[in-house]
Amino acid sequence: MLDVQDLTVKFPSRHGEFTAVQDVSLRVAPGEIHGLVGESGAGKSTIGAAVIGLLQPPGYVANGRLVLGDTDLRSLTPDAAHAIRGARISMIFQDPQTSLNPLMTIEDQLIETMQAHEDITTSAARARAIELLEEIGIRNAADRITAYPHQFSGGMRQRVVIALALCTNPELIIADEPTTALDVAVQSKVLDLIRELADNRKIAFILITHDIGVIKQITDQVTVLRGGRVMEAGPTPQVLDSPQHPYTQALLASVPRLDRKLDRFLVPSEVEEAAPPLVAGVDAEKWLLAGDTTNPVDLEVKDITVKFAGQRTSLFRRAESFTALNSVSMQVAEGTVMGLVGESGSGKSTLAKVITGLVQPSNGTMTLDGAPLPPARQRGRQDAARRTIQMIFQDPYSSLNARHRIGAVLGEPLWLYGLEDDAAKRRALCAAMLEMVGMEPDAIDKYPHQFSGGQRQRIAVARALLARPRFLICDEPTSALDVSIQAQILNLLKDLQDRFGLTMLFVSHNLAVVRQMSDRVTVLQRGEVVETSESEAFFTAPAAPYSRELLSLTPTL
């Protein structure tokens, strides 16, 4: 039904023309879900945009055939193309928070979309809208339909988005990372819905995602893309079970498994972006071994409660506070890795911030290495814990100051903690540390924007190590990275843990990643500890029902 042949998309820019998509062919039949998978820069979103005719300027289709049924999409006039959008092809965007007009009720948005494509009375359109909302799982649709987008939760909002894409009965829906912004439980429901719609209504889907678990769960066909080219394509079970192309094999190897723990990931050699770590940087390693880093500490938090002040809504009522953490206790033994998991809003990042002293708990105590660890406001600038506890952040694009050279970023802990007073020695040490985390030492004179996400995360690791930490907090350190890069960073962290026996708190929403990293696991739900177990025991036989649910909903390979 949709037939794409030899599609090439180009983006002219100051550095010449950039080919985002080259010679891509794919076919999608009615009722079929066709997955486009690949890492960032693979051109998967560009293909979707090209099909629906919404390429961001100055991008343009340079070559190829785009045929929907018997309509040649490339030969359409702009007006005809716009008439097809919605009526025959529709789209679902990634973020349900921003894809709905905040000023219009969902009723108005639905009715308007239907009336744009067919001659239908408002009351008939409303009736159909209510029916549709009920069908996709919004209860009391007749009442809820007059609500504004902000009155729905994230998952419900994505359902509204799907209803909007669906209300005109299109033949093809392009879903661009439709579940990336959602928690696993909601993700699984939305994916089920998409599968149902494909089966029952015979709608064709193009599902764009970076998550191979999602591909495995619902797609019929899959096209693996890299750098704008098709690496491999075919029926999903076939491609995932017996990949032919080396890239697909490497990609699958670097996906963390929920069902087993690997010592190291096999990193696809062609996506390896730097030399393997720990062969160089002997000086840095010696320096670390000379300090107290190899003498790790244990951490205990007890009855930590954090309340955030809510928005005041009335003059006569106090603002209702929001309890982010409710009497959370946790023990991390020295030299072990504690995995901290939970959905968004479970309070896992808040707990990390309490330990680092960014968030003030309203209650509870903390002990580090047997001594009390003062909370945020009581922790002085000179407190030893400022150095002992270091953190690696989620987003390597914002965790390094874009205006400073790498040398200045790395040198900061050295002089701040008085570890090295001589500027020349500081520089040498920073260079050695860069080598140790697998970077070229000449990176020291460059700026963060000159590096890729994975390289930046290595630099962030180097910065943390240059404080000679004894307790390392990793807050979703790989969730902003592609899987192959994630595998490298996880390898690096594993190596460091092996070598220096660091105590680590590893925060992640991704259970498969946590399995690879941790000795013990703590599960948080809505600010409360649900379960703490040995890692292997947790993944084979979780104790709490919530843990079981989380595990069963996580898409696996």
Question: 327-343 burial, b if ≥16 CB within 10 A, otherwise e?
Answer: ebebebeebbbbbbbbb
Give the C-alpha separation, 527 to 216, whole Å: 32
Q: What are phi and psi of 288, to 5 degrees?
A: -65, -40
**Residue 60 to residues 20, 42, 48, 63, Cα–Cα distance (Å):** 10, 17, 13, 9
**Residue 258 to residues 262, 482, 535, 539, Cα–Cα distance (Å):** 10, 17, 11, 8
- Half-sphere exposure of residue 63, counting CA atoms within 13 Å on the CB side? 9
Write out the binding residues for other proteins, residues 345-364 only, by CB under 8 A: 356-358
Stretch that binds other proteins, among 107-115, 129-137, 233-241, 266-274 (CB under 8 A): 107-115
Residue 242, C-beta contacts closer than 8 angstroms, at least 6 positions apart: none
Among residues 393, 506, 538, 546, which is the contact residue for other proteins, using CB under 8 A?
A: 393
Stretch that binds other proteins, among 63-71, 272-280, 329-337, 409-417 (CB under 8 A): 409-417
Among residues 261, 386, 494, 499, which is the contact residue for other proteins, using CB under 8 A?
A: 386
Among residues 139, 318, 377, 381, which is the contact residue for other proteins, using CB under 8 A?
A: 381
Question: 510-535 burial, b if ≥16 CB within 10 A, otherwise e?
Answer: bbbbbbbbbbbbbbbbebebbbbbeb
Q: Where are the strands (E) in 79-145, listed by range?
A: 89-92
Among residues 17, 69, 101, 372, which is the contact residue for other proteins, using CB under 8 A?
A: 101
User: Could you say whether residue 432 binds other proteins (CB under 8 A)?
Assistant: no
Find, among 201, 202, 195, the residue nearest to 178 by Cα.
195
Let me know if 364 is exposed, middle or buried by CB neighbors in 10 A (0-12, 13-18, 19+). middle
Nearer to other proteins, 14 or 123 (CB): 14
**Amino acid at site 161:** V
User: Could you say whether residue 148 binds other proteins (CB under 8 A)?
Assistant: yes
Write out the binding residues for other proteins, residues 167-196 only, by CB under 8 A: 168
Question: 388-403 burial, b if ≥16 CB within 10 A, otherwise e?
Answer: bbbbbbbbbeebbeee
Write out the binding residues for other proteins, residues 312-331 only, by CB under 8 A: 312-315
User: Could you say whether residue 117 binds other proteins (CB under 8 A)?
Assistant: yes
User: Could you say whether residue 282 binds other proteins (CB under 8 A)?
Assistant: no
Output the smallest distance, CB 489 to other proteins, in A: 16
Among residues 399, 478, 488, 533, which is the contact residue for other proteins, using CB under 8 A?
A: 399
Q: What are phi and psi of 506, to 5 degrees?
A: -110, 110
Nearer to other proteins, 207 or 467 (CB): 467
User: Could you say whether residue 11 binds other proteins (CB under 8 A)?
Assistant: no
Q: Where are the strands (E) in 482-526, listed by range?
A: 503-508, 520-525
User: Could you say whether residue 12 binds other proteins (CB under 8 A)?
Assistant: no
User: Could you say whether residue 264 binds other proteins (CB under 8 A)?
Assistant: no
Output the smallest distance, CB 400 to other proteins, in A: 6
Write out the binding residues for other proteins, residues 57-86 only, by CB under 8 A: 82-86
> Which residue is it, tokens 């939305």?
190
User: Could you say whether residue 142 binds other proteins (CB under 8 A)?
Assistant: no
Output the smallest distance, CB 474 to other proteins, in A: 13
Nearer to other proteins, 82 or 499 (CB): 82
User: Could you say whether residue 401 binds other proteins (CB under 8 A)?
Assistant: yes
Let me know if 345 is exposed, middle or buried by CB neighbors in 10 A (0-12, 13-18, 19+). middle
Stretch that binds other proteins, among 162-170, 228-236, 253-261, 283-291 (CB under 8 A): 162-170
Output the smallest distance, CB 321 to other proteins, in A: 15
Write out the binding residues for other proteins, residues 411-430 only, by CB under 8 A: 412-413, 416
Output the smallest distance, CB 87 to other proteins, in A: 6
Nearer to other proteins, 42 or 91 (CB): 91
Find, among 361, 378, 234, 245, the residue nearest to 301 by Cα.
361
Output the smallest distance, CB 153 to other proteins, in A: 7
Stretch that binds other proteins, among 96-104, 195-203, 323-331, 337-345 (CB under 8 A): 96-104
Instruction: Report whether 155 contacts 186 (CB < 8 A).
Output: yes
Stretch that binds other proteins, among 184-192, 252-260, 275-283, 377-385 (CB under 8 A): 377-385
Find, among 320, 356, 325, 308, the residue nearest to 505 by Cα.
356
User: Could you say whether residue 139 binds other proteins (CB under 8 A)?
Assistant: no
Stretch that binds other proteins, among 124-132, 210-218, 322-330, 374-382 (CB under 8 A): 374-382
The DSSP bridge pattern shows strands 389-392 and 371-372 to be unpaired
**Amino acid at site 425:** K
User: Could you say whether residue 150 binds other proteins (CB under 8 A)?
Assistant: yes
Nearer to other proteins, 269 or 382 (CB): 382
**CA terminus-to-terminus distance, the chain:** 29
Find the radius of gyration of the CA atoms of the chain: 26
- In the complex, the residues that contact other proteins under the rule CB under 8 A are 14, 52, 54, 82-87, 90-91, 93, 95, 98-105, 109, 112-113, 116-117, 147-148, 150-153, 161, 164-165, 168, 312-315, 356-358, 379-383, 386, 389-391, 393-395, 398-404, 412-413, 416, 463, 467
